[in-house]
Amino acid sequence: MEFSAIDIASVLEGRVEGDADVKVKTLSKIEEGKPGSISFLSNLKYESHLYDTNASIVIVSEGFVPKQSVKSTLIYVEDAYQAFTKLLHYADRMRNQKSGIDKNTQIHETVELGQNIYIGSFTFISEGAKIGDEVMIHPNVFIGENVSIGKGSIIYSGVKLYSNTEIGENCIIHANTVIGADGFGFAPTPEGKMEKVPQIGNVIIGNDVEIGASCTIDRATLGSTIIRSGVKLDNQIQIAHNVEIDENTVIASQTGIAGSTKIGKNCIIGGQVGIIGHLKIGNFVQIQAQSGVNNDIPDKGKVYGSPAMEASDFRKSYVYFRNFPSIVRKLEDLEKEFKQNIKS
């Protein structure tokens, strides 16, 4: 699909300088621009590429004045980076736009289907499910009983949504993620065996949540495991039963969160972090990669290490960790010197 400079400027609320009718059909980095592509310049570190790029259109910020002649058509906007991001979202939506229901799907007669939806082949949708308008469900998805999926959400291939899971609007769930499996709950018996504790709760996902590939979010024992609106999860994350993650928190890959822990708003959690159960992590907390968290963290805390401590304290301590062998040698030398002085 092709778009002209004037069409794009209209979407971005910008103005055109150059050929308003020039058309593009792809996006590119400015240094790799080709005819028929659109790029952007926000960091002036890359300004030199503007003068030799072959991109047909370049988005720039208002107030930018070229130092040389530019062969590309320019679109001036308030913020070039934000405008290009908006364009990326639009292009991604257009690229993935699908509609219709494949004949090889199996949909229970009680399922409520919205308008303008897409359901790919070999998808199974169980009794009582509700699929909102403009939802896209890719092939080989399982949707359990009484699952609801909000307007505009995208479910990629291989996703499994267990019964009673609630997905909000405009969510993206990537391939092979499992939502609503039983939590890891077992109780010891007098005979020394481990008896399964039934998990009868569900999982609730808010609006505008993105969940990466191969994540697992377990249903609550009672009540709900809750991922609130705006949360972004990377690939291969484990979230246990009854965990709650508040709005706009982001979590990097291979992190595991044990049961009933509560994580606040706008937190940033690095990769391979482990968080034990029943903790309270405050708002605006930052947890560095590979940290092991075994205590509550107050609002705006920054922790690092395993067990996790204040990030600034960890960095200071690390200087001594790294030099520990030489410190030990110095202590041994002092001990020898002390013993010799005693003998003499």
> Residues 44-103: pLDDT tens digits?
999 999 999 999 999 999 999 999 999 999 999 999 999 999 888 887 777 777 889 999
Answer yes or no: is pLDDT of 30 > 90.
yes
Q: What is the mean pLDDT of the segment spanning 210-236?
A: 98
CATH top class, domain 3-96: alpha beta
Q: What tokens appear for 11 in the block?
A: 């979407």
Task: Give the tens place of pLDDT for each residue, 267-315.
Answer: 999 999 999 999 999 999 999 999 999 999 999 999 988 777 677 777 7
Q: Tell me the CATH architecture of domain 100-314.
A: 3 Solenoid (2.160)
Residues with a catalytic annotation lie at 241
What is the model's pLDDT at position 344? 66
Q: Smallest Cα–Cα separation from 115: which of 96, 94, 132, 139?
A: 132
β-strand partners of 68: none
Q: Smallest Cα–Cα separation from 167: which of 217, 117, 121?
A: 217
pTM confidence score: 0.79
* All structural domains of the chain with their residue ranges: 3-96, 100-314
Look at 88-97, 176-185, 327-336 and tell me which has the smallest mean pLDDT.
Answer: 88-97
Largest Cα–Cα separation, the chain? 97
